[in-house]
Structure 1
Amino acid sequence: MKHLTVCTLAIASILSFFLVSGCIKGSRAPGLEQSGSKILNQDSDFQASYYYLMARRHDSKDEADQAQKAMEKAIAKDPGSNFLQREYIRSLQKQKKSDQALALAQDLAEKYPDDVENLILLARLKKGNEKDITILLERILQLAPEDKETFLRLGKVYMDEGMNLKAMNLFSRMASIFPDYYVAHFYLGETQRMADQPAAAKDSYLKTLELEPDLLEPRFQLVDVYKAMGEKKNKAEIITVLKEILDFDPGDERALIELGLFYYNTKDFYNADEIFASLGREIRKNPDLVVNIVQLLIPEHRYQDAATVLSQVRKVLPGNANINFFLGMAYESLKKPDQAIEYYLKVTPDHPQYKKTILSIAFLYRDMNRMEEAIRFLEQHHRQSPADIDITSYLASFYQDNNRDDIAVTMLQRALKVVPKNTALLFKLGAVLDTAGQRQQSIETMKTIIRLDPTHASALNYLGYTYAEMGIHLDQALELVQRALEIRPEDGYITDSLGWVYFKKQAYDKAVFYLEKAVELSDYETVIAAHLAEAYLKTGQQKKAVAMYKKALDNARQDQKEEIQKIEEKLKSLKNTVQ
């Protein structure tokens, strides 16, 4: 027997602990692989274990490079170890080397297709292709039918993919295998609620709370279920559940809002006023609470509920700019522009969203066909803030829409004397000059923008499209639009420009290719769809052309009178040629 130093004995002792107990549940440490009953006294296994422990030590000190090198040495000593391969993959993942980790995990899973831990590791690393992930998770459940993590992940994938029946069956099976696991019952309730089975969902949520009484989320879901089963019939249950939540956490904003709304909607105004007044008093102490209220309701498209809560809270704080701003937003979302303007006008200049408020009011006036009011309103704020580029730009657009191009040009030129290199104002000026019939000046303005900013995709596209429309400099037009598309590859309007340049160059097959892509990206915008129809005609596809012209006509806006007239004339001329 060889003489062992104290240090060697200590290492051996530590190693024996890891080797016998294992570092990960269900895994075998180096030297105890499934492939054979190796033992520690083999030199290569000892060295593999040593390097593995060194890797763990470096990892605990956040010494990523040293940890990786140690793991590589461990694998070199025991290349058949699944355990070491998995640990190495995890270390790569921790270092954010995701692609390398995924590639190794795929190789490992292919080499050992029935090793559950390898498959689970691969499933954790896989992203993107939900079909592949689903197949992988289903395979894991076949091999390990009681793996909770896989049950949950597969169920969520089914739910995300809209396969609710599959998800429900899966969680039902999970709940029967793990009857005391509250998560299984909760997700079963979620799928039952989505399947419009409120009574079954209620039982699942109640079972969840029986197993884990302190949970709040199942109680909120119960409230929704009781409402679905009839608010009047279940009024007492709804109030009881919301009060239970408030017993756990008296400051729970969501529960307070839902209880206040429930009282208000069931015309129990006394209790509703009490809750909303208390919310108002809390907002006075904590102004950020307004944002919390909005975040609970607006993302869920509960605009009427948001308007109700904020208008009731406003009784306590009528001058609160945040409340007025979000009330304006709520009413704007409800398509009630008069009420939106009423509250937007109460927002004070010190509010961080004051300019957005000003612009929102102007656009609301415009959308209500009150263009003169919109212009007067923006003119007033332009006089107050003549250096504000956004207000200047939008006011110029309003002048342009109102056929007052000369005023728009003068105002933009005046603003550019202060900021001559502002590309946003220059672009607006170029566009207005174009509609005013000063095309050459527009072209020169776009060239100026490109000299100032060679990556200005809008200017590149505008100039290229202008050349195409004029039928000049088509090679340069192609180069300009291609540069723009490199910057914004998924822009439907730039893609349309590229197709239109090819159309003008009489490369009609290429034109069709890009214009078909453009209509998809732009959701069949009228001008783009009409371009595609013309390209179809040039390639002898008359039936497709007629269908596309009709699509263009269906999507036309009221202000596109000229385009509508052209399309109607085209359809009339094609009526007798296409049967």
Structure 2
Amino acid sequence: MRTTGLALLIGTLLLGGCASVSSPGARDADAGLSTDYQPGQPVYTPGELNRESVYELLAAEVAGQRQEFNTALEFYLSQAEKTRDPGVAERATRIAQFMRNPEAVLQAASIWSEVSPDPQEPDHIRANILISEQRFDEALPVLESILDDGSTEAVLMLGSKSQQLSAASAQRYEALLARYSANEPERLDLLLTRALLKRRSGDVDGALALIDEGLAIEPDQPDLLLQKIDIYRTRGEYDRALALTEQALRASPDQEQLQLQKAQLLIASDPATAIDLINELISRHPDDAQMHYYFALLTLEHEQYEASRNILTDMAGRDPHNSNLNFYLGVIDEATGNGENALTRYLSVSDGPNLQQAYTRAVGLFDTPEQANEVKQIIDQGIQRHPAITNRLRLTQADWLQQQGLESEALEIVTNALKCDPADVGLLYTHALLVEDQDPERMLSDLETAIALEPDNGMLQNALGYSLTLYTEDYERAHDLISRALEQHPNDAAVLDSMGWVLLKLDRDREALNFLRRAYDASGDPEVASHLIEALWKVGEKDAARELLQKNLEAAPDSDHLKQVADKLGASQ
């Protein structure tokens, strides 16, 4: 590690035994310094080696030796701000990195970059943190500042995060990288990352062109080949994808990702060959649990139940404490008609990411209202075993009751749960939906309470905004809430529909049509269709409205939403 300035001084003055160390706000003058120093005394002079600096830096190192890293970091950040010394700023950055504190890393590395004669390393750190934190607008100028040194790390990290960018941000980053590609046309990391950004922005043809540029330079480059194969696969061009995979495997027969890609491509069209390949790969990698897990889920997804069961059973034998495997074995039992065994499997899941879903599927095996007591028994036992998910299990029970037409019983379950935990957002949201028909004002009150607890929750913003359009005339607030939800979920059909509906209420009819068409294309839902029909009728496109109404009534003749819009528009016939 480089040490300069004050940090070098500290490296030579560490004490063997010291008094207690406190934070900068509560220091003690007995830490080995002269007793005439009083904490908080205005003795600091910028640009000089002050007693306060010596005290805090010594105290920081003592705290570090005692593994009191929060205190050490606080002292170093304080002195980095005051001294503007590159060595101190670097030391603060290293401690913040060790503690995995991204905000502190950015604070310290920013100072280090400003005062260092060579800001490349701190700028790399800042870019990596900002990109990994998905703060892409802030990362853009930092990335631009480090590209001149030919760095690949930040470029590749940007590529790995490309799917988390908005389409507009992806376009801006691609335009930035294109400038550097023009000067270094053979840099494959730039071409690959630009291709990923092109895909994110929707320009798949542009992405293919960049991939082909890279493959012209290095025909067997595996990352470029995998991207091209994946583009063919997502386009449904499976033959081309498979042919390219075979070609790539001839050049790199041991490339694991290509072998995985081949199995994935074959599983739909030639499952027997795919399963043979999967079994071969598993036998060659007997300790690669992640690969086995991937293949278990791949075969399950494509309904190759026996193959999936074999892999999962083997994994369970190797790791008998992994109860999560029972969830997937239960799914297989359920799919193959062995409900009793599936129930046992689901209820044996004791932890892991599928615990809640295991109970949901377990109660889903009961399909008549008369089985409500059996469902209650399962939920009660689940709460006894897993009290941390009590509310989620009660919601599972309420959802099952509602599906069986037992709305009043479902409402009672949620109401009682709210008495125990009135600040649970999930309970409030579900209570709002259950009480809507009989008490719309209480529904709005529930949603207001929920959004006060989680003001940035997009689901709640959309739910309250849409509800305001139904039961109030506060369309401006509804529009504001739905707009905020749309920022978080720009392609969600429900949010698009809400935006179209509130714009229609605001008489912004042509804008409304755009959102409603997008929502309908994404979902085909009868309620969304009813909104689009009403919008078409309002702008005078009555023939299109009638045609859409007829089409949807044929597909969903019992839809209350479609019947209501037909009556409203006088188009029932």
- Which interval holds the TM-score relative to the shorter structure? 0.5 to 0.7
Over 3 Å counting, the alpha-carbon distance change for 1:513 and 1:405 in structure 2 is: same
Structure 2 residue 99 is the aligned partner of structure 1 residue 69: no
Any conservation in 1 of the 2:432–2:447 contact (CA below 8 Å)? yes
How far the C-alpha of 1:395 sits from its partner, in A, is 2.2
How far the C-alpha of 1:474 sits from its partner, in A, is 0.6
Q: Which is worse superposed, 123-132 or 532-541? A: 123-132
Task: Give percent identity, aligned residues only.
Answer: 15
How far the C-alpha of 1:428 sits from its partner, in A, is 2.1
Measure, in 2, the Cα distance between the counterparts of 1:226 and 1:492.
29
Aligned to 2:377: 380
Over 3 Å counting, the alpha-carbon distance change for 1:380 and 1:255 in structure 2 is: same
1:81-96 correspondence to structure 2 within 5 Å: 88=119, 91-96=122-127
Aligned alpha-carbon RMSD (Å): 5.5
Measure, in 2, the Cα distance between the counterparts of 1:197 and 1:509.
41
**TM-score, normalised to structure 2's length?**
0.56
Over 3 Å counting, the alpha-carbon distance change for 1:216 and 1:548 in structure 2 is: same
Measure, in 2, the Cα distance between the counterparts of 1:98 and 1:479.
33
Over 3 Å counting, the alpha-carbon distance change for 1:501 and 1:55 in structure 2 is: closer
How far the C-alpha of 1:530 sits from its partner, in A, is 1.3
The C-alpha deviation readout for 1:327-367, integer Å capped at 9, x for no partner, is 224567xxx263476335224263444442111222355xx
Measure, in 1, the Cα distance between the counterparts of 2:518 and 2:264.
44
1:405-420 correspondence to structure 2 within 5 Å: 405-420=407-422
Structure 2 residue 522 is the aligned partner of structure 1 residue 483: no
Larger Rg: 1
How far the C-alpha of 1:527 sits from its partner, in A, is 1.0
Aligned to 1:427: 429
Any conservation in 2 of the 1:450–1:456 contact (CA below 8 Å)? yes
Unaligned runs of 5+ in 1: 1-53, 72-86, 109-116, 177-182, 210-214, 243-253, 261-274, 283-288
How far the C-alpha of 1:389 sits from its partner, in A, is 1.6
Aligned to 2:41: none
1:525 partner amino acid? D
1:378 partner amino acid? V
How far the C-alpha of 1:525 sits from its partner, in A, is 2.7
Any conservation in 2 of the 1:393–1:425 contact (CA below 8 Å)? yes
Aligned to 2:341: 342
How far the C-alpha of 1:534 sits from its partner, in A, is 0.7
Measure, in 2, the Cα distance between the counterparts of 1:438 and 1:232.
53
Any conservation in 1 of the 2:363–2:400 contact (CA below 8 Å)? no
Q: How many residue pairs were aligned?
A: 429
Structure 2 residue 362 is the aligned partner of structure 1 residue 361: yes
1:113-512 correspondence to structure 2 within 5 Å: 128-129=170-171, 132=175, 136=179, 139-140=182-183, 161=204, 170=213, 173-175=216-218, 184=221, 196=240, 205-208=249-252, 217=256, 220=259, 258-259=282-283, 293-298=292-297, 301=301, 304=304, 305-311=307-313, 321-329=323-331, 336=335, 338-339=337-338, 342-346=341-345, 347-348=347-348, 350-352=350-352, 353-363=354-364, 365=366, 370-372=367-369, 375-384=372-381, 385=383, 388-435=390-437, 437-446=438-447, 449=450, 462=463, 465-466=466-467, 468-470=469-471, 473-475=472-474, 477-480=475-478, 482-483=480-481, 485-487=483-485, 489=487, 490=489, 492-504=493-505, 508-509=509-510, 511-512=512-513
Please give the secondary structure, in 1, of the residue aligned with 2:436.
Answer: helix
Over 3 Å counting, the alpha-carbon distance change for 1:453 and 1:550 in structure 2 is: same
How far the C-alpha of 1:102 sits from its partner, in A, is 4.2
Q: Which is worse superposed, 196-205 or 379-388? A: 196-205
How far the C-alpha of 1:325 sits from its partner, in A, is 1.9
Measure, in 2, the Cα distance between the counterparts of 1:234 and 1:349.
33
1:358 partner amino acid? Y
2:378 partner amino acid? H
Measure, in 1, the Cα distance between the counterparts of 2:256 and 2:281.
15
Measure, in 1, the Cα distance between the counterparts of 2:207 and 2:483.
40
Any conservation in 1 of the 2:482–2:499 contact (CA below 8 Å)? no
Measure, in 2, the Cα distance between the counterparts of 1:226 and 1:450.
44
Please give the secondary structure, in 2, of the residue aligned with 1:573.
Answer: coil
How far the C-alpha of 1:540 sits from its partner, in A, is 1.4
Aligned to 1:534: 534
Unaligned runs of 5+ in 2: 1-84, 95-107, 128-137, 163-169, 233-238
Please give the secondary structure, in 1, of the residue aligned with 2:348.
Answer: coil
Measure, in 2, the Cα distance between the counterparts of 1:319 and 1:118.
48
